[in-house]
C-alpha cells in the first residue's frame, strides 16, 4: 500500500473514530498533496508525499517557535499535536551520529574544505538524505564538518 493510500485510510479511520484533531491534520495533508498534484499535473509517489510532510512539519515547527515567543502556549500545543500526527507518515529518521558519519563521508568524497564549499556539500547531501534525515541537523553537521 502506498503512503498516499495509507493516508486516505487513516482519514477514514479518524472519521469513524471521531478524532477531530487528527482528522483535521490529515485533511490538511491531503489538501497539500492534492494541490501539488493539480499544480504540477503529476501523480505523487511516496518520496513526493514525504517531501510534503517534511514541509508541513517545518511550517508547524516555525509556528510553534513563533507562538512560544508570543507566549501563546495554547496555539503552540495545537501545532505540536499536528506535528505528532504528521511525523507518523515519515520513515524512520537517521540518528545524529548517522547523519554526522554520512556528512563526513560525503565531505571526504567531494574533497570539500572550508565554509565556501557548503552549497556544494548541501546539494549532494540533500540528494542522498532527503526524507531520511532532519535537514536542520544535516545543515548543522555540514557546518561542523567544514569548519
pTM of this prediction exceeds 0.85? no
Burial 64-83 (b: 16+ CB within 10 A, else e): beebeeeeeeeebebbeebb
pLDDT tens figures, 32-49: 999 999 999 999 999 899
The domains located in the chain, with CATH, are: 3-87 (1.10.1510.10), 96-146 (1.10.10.410)
Confidence of residue 111 (pLDDT cuts 50, 70, 90): confident
pLDDT tens figures, 113-133: 778 888 888 888 888 887 788
Amino acid at each position: 500500500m502506498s503512503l498516499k493510500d495509507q493516508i486516505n485510510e487513516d482519514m477514514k479511520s479518524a472519521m469513524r473514530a471521531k478524532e477531530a484533531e487528527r482528522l483535521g491534520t490529515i485533511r490538511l495533508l491531503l489538501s497539500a498533496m492534492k494541490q501539488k498534484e493539480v499544480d504540477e499535473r503529476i501523480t505523487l509517489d511516496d518520496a513526493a508525499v514525504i517531501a510534503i510532510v517534511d514541509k508541513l512539519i517545518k511550517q508547524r515547527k516555525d509556528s510553534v517557535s513563533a507562538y512560544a515567543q508570543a507566549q501563546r502556549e495554547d496555539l503552540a500545543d495545537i501545532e505540536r499535536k499536528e506535528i505528532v500526527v504528521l511525523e507518523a507518515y515519515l520513515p524512520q529518521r537517521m540518528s545524529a551520529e548517522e547523519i554526522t558519519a554520512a556528512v563526513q563521508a560525503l565531505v571526504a568524497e567531494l574533497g570539500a574544505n572550508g565554509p565556501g564549499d557548503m552549497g556544494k556539500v548541501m546539494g549532494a547531501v540533500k540528494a542522498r538524505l532527503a526524507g531520511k534525515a532532519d535537514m536542520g541537523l544535516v545543515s548543522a553537521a555540514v557546518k561542523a564538518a567544514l569548519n
